[in-house]
Chain A
């Protein structure tokens, strides 16, 4: 690699790479632009490889070759699949997006560039940042393959609610280089910029290796208080963010249902015990807990539920240390046992009147003992719980049938989470527990004027946990609406709470005019993103007829807003020698048993003018 980052051996030079992220009201619009020139005397294959968050939807991809831009089109997956099949039949590999580790997906395309020619790759993706343990995170994975003459990351954040703090984390940077990251923060705007020179990118003065290899993470939070939150209105769509502060936590009753079957033996069992010990230590003394362990049989620690007093916690820890792995996996019986235990404890008035009851299941495998039909187990658990308790399922490792756990959680107002087999597994378990550790509100209902709005996203929530955020969006159907009233009804630990926000449509639109410099239609796109995400979740536990309707609606929105979702694919067509060659992108499914190391995907190199290329992006 020469002075300007040119690699004389490959002949390819990335002379510019720009990552531009614009966030307005938590909705992030990201563009990655990379420019490559072939300085060799022959055609070369240039790869464009980007990792993006799994929660993001790709919205656009384009390549500009010889001054001609080839733009991606989002199509129904089946349509794209036909092209995919054609490509496969030609002996090519397709599928451009692959899961990469825990949080990221890898998008990869390649194209042949003629001698002295240039190519510009441009990828756009969008994402609604989720508040997690009191902050939003923008994760940008930085990994250029060579030194880049013009490398730049620019993150602009605009939060009308006010930015409480803005930090960045770039562990790959040596200490002496962290100062090149520039951060500016005003009341409502934040800007983080990273623009290392070629010299600053070098690992050592005379070598060509780059230090740019790692995650560039931006963390921030907005100002919040105990109010109905903030409502933004732009171009006829509104979004309401609600995350009240200064509330007292509500006690919770947790039944830990822990798999200690034979497959858990070794590291997984040790890590589970370690995490449980820490979780027990962190329990609030007002909480109640019980532990059920299962293999092909199940056992409840001391056959009851206990308040998390120091004595009870100490005794439970002694028990946890004795849990060892053995036997098969019967998930049905311990789950039903957990429900019965909660039922009885409520009936006997052992638990606080206003409290959250939840079951946290941790398992590493499919049920293979007792009732082993996953559908039957899901039905049994749903019917026993009957909407009263939350179920959170933690799938440990890669042998779990994640879709089974996901449906069981979603059926019972919970979520499923994959716990990756790694040295930090105990931290992952604790991290999940921390998310649900502090319920602040129960039965939250957000109301808006019925006749004035339509297409509302989910507006009723069983709980609100400290550190998270409730987001509701909708369309204003009354063109003459002067003010929008949002009312929140909820229960706190002791009282009934009502919060009200009234926003003047004209005033809010005036304020949002200021943010048009970011992107004007963000509220509508945010609404579409949120609607699709929620419909996808709903689809997991829907019956056949409803599933069909949900699928149609997701597809309609994905196509309309050009989102690469599990139901759509993006096809980039590149005319070549009078043929239409396509690239297609898909989104990988969480249920794919993807090892932590990303699968290696190779796209065979081919002569520039002879073989058609085909690429493909989409999302599961």
Chain B
């Protein structure tokens, strides 16, 4: 999956890829203070060719707010809300919303869902539908954080570690190794990294084509930009 992180007060963005194995579950957000967790499970293409790079996507997200006793599992097929012992399953084919005091989930059929958990968090999960007879690709999901201002400073995870504004200095912009793309040097978290100018897509408003988000790409699975290595974020279960 691709990650896009805004930096420097939303004036620029950093992007990186995380390559993982299909079936692996990555921790995206963990806030021990609010007892809030978001994990994502990777899926691969329909066919995996030997000795070829495996492209992976998020096929399922698990969101847990233990304080509210709410768990939400979002897959490309259904959205399941667990509230205490209750379980409600929505299909992506329906426009629906569920509200309970400060928790709400609102689904726009076949497009996206917005999840609000009190004042703490607002997320959007976008459904990417692929032609079902496509020989390679399959449906996948995108995860967007709209509001995270109430998370504690202890929040971590592949996304969570960036919920508090980070500053990065970018300089030495010059023609890159890829023709037509610029390279630059970025200083972030005390590391000096080579980054390449590119763009990623935001699919929240145009689920088919997306809108371009220019970003500085960090090579090698975000090495130096993320804390530790991607394997540090692998967890054993969605919840």
Contact = CB atoms under 8 A, between A and B. Distances in A.
A492 B88 contact: yes
Contacts of A492: 86, 88, 98
A498 B100 contact: no
A246 B90 CA distance: 7
Contact of B91 (A227, A493, A498, A502): A227
A552 interface: no
Contact of B94 (A226, A248, A495): A226
B89 interface: yes
B107 to A, nearest CB: 9
B206 to A, nearest CB: 20
Interface in A224-239: 225-228
Contacts of A41: none
Interface residues of B, dominant DSSP: strand
B95 A248 contact: no
Interface in A485-501: 492-501
Contacts of B109: 227
A247 interface: yes
Nearest to B104: A495
Given A495-B100, A496-B99, A248 B88 contact: yes
Contact of B97 (A247, A248, A497): A497
B96 A246 contact: no
A422 B100 CA distance: 48
A248 B84 CA distance: 11
A7 to B, nearest CB: 57
A228 B93 CA distance: 10
B150 interface: no
Contacts of A498: 96-99
Contact of A228 (B95, B98, B100): B95
A499 B86 contact: no
B93 A227 contact: yes
B88 A227 contact: no
Contacts of A500: 94-96
Contacts of A248: 83, 85-88
In this complex, which of A495, A496, A497, A500 has the most chain B Cβ atoms within 10 angstroms of its Cβ?
A495
Interface string B70-108: 000000000000011111111101111111100100000
A360 to B, nearest CB: 25
B98 A496 contact: yes
B100 A227 contact: no
Contacts of A493: 83, 86
Given A494-B100, A495-B83, A495-B100, A247 B94 contact: no
Nearest to A440: B88
Which residue of A494, A499, A500 has the most chain B CB atoms within 10 A of its CB atom? A494
Q: Which of B88, B93, B100, B103 has the most CB of A within 10 A?
A: B88
Classify the secondary structure of A's interface with B.
Answer: loop
Contacts of B97: 497-499
A226 B87 CA distance: 12
Interface string B103-124: 1000001000000000000000
A371 B61 CA distance: 62
A502 B98 contact: no
A246 B73 CA distance: 14
B99 A226 contact: no
Q: How many residues of A sit at the interface, in one of the four size bands?
A: 10 to 19
A494 B96 contact: no
Interface string A496-527: 11111110000000000000000000000000
B83 to A, nearest CB: 5
A401 B145 CA distance: 64
Nearest to B90: A226
Contacts of B94: 225-228, 499-501
A495 B99 CA distance: 5
Interface string B177-194: 000000000000000000
A492 B85 CA distance: 13
A501 B94 CA distance: 7
Interface string A363-385: 00000000000000000000000
Nearest to A226: B90
A296 to B, nearest CB: 44
A257 B87 CA distance: 33
Given A494-B100, A496-B100, A501 B95 contact: yes
Given A496-B99, A497-B97, A499-B94, A226 B89 contact: yes
Contacts of A497: 88, 96-98
A298 B163 CA distance: 66
Nearest to A493: B86
Nearest to B101: A495
Nearest to A250: B86
A501 B100 CA distance: 22
Contacts of B100: 494-496
A495 B96 contact: no
Contacts of A496: 98-100
A446 B18 CA distance: 46
B91 A494 contact: no
A502 B93 CA distance: 11
Contacts of B99: 495-496, 498
Contacts of B96: 226-228, 497-500
Interface string A207-232: 00000000000000000011110000
A511 B89 CA distance: 28
Given A226-B89, A246-B89, A494 B95 contact: no
A502 B96 CA distance: 12
Contacts of B91: 225-227
A499 B95 contact: yes
Contacts of B90: 225-227, 246
A222 to B, nearest CB: 14
A482 B148 CA distance: 40
Nearest to B81: A495
A247 B99 CA distance: 14
A30 to B, nearest CB: 33
A493 B87 CA distance: 10
Contacts of A225: 89-91, 93-94
Nearest to B95: A500
A456 B83 CA distance: 35
A466 to B, nearest CB: 13
A65 B200 CA distance: 80
Contacts of A494: 83-84, 86, 100
A470 B109 CA distance: 22
A225 B93 CA distance: 9
A225 B109 CA distance: 13
Nearest to B84: A494
Contacts of B83: 248, 493-495
Nearest to A487: B95
A247 B96 CA distance: 13
Contacts of A245: 89
Contacts of A246: 87-90
A501 B99 CA distance: 18
A502 B86 contact: no
Interface in A243-273: 245-248
The CB with the most chain B CB atoms within 10 A, among A227, A493, A496, A502, is that of A227
Given A226-B91, A500-B95, 4 more contacts: A225-B94, A246-B88, A248-B85, A498-B98
9 contacts: A226-B94, A228-B96, A246-B89, A248-B83, A492-B88, A497-B88, A500-B94, A500-B96, A501-B94
Q: Which 3 A-B pairs have the closest CB atoms?
A: A227-B94, A246-B89, A248-B86
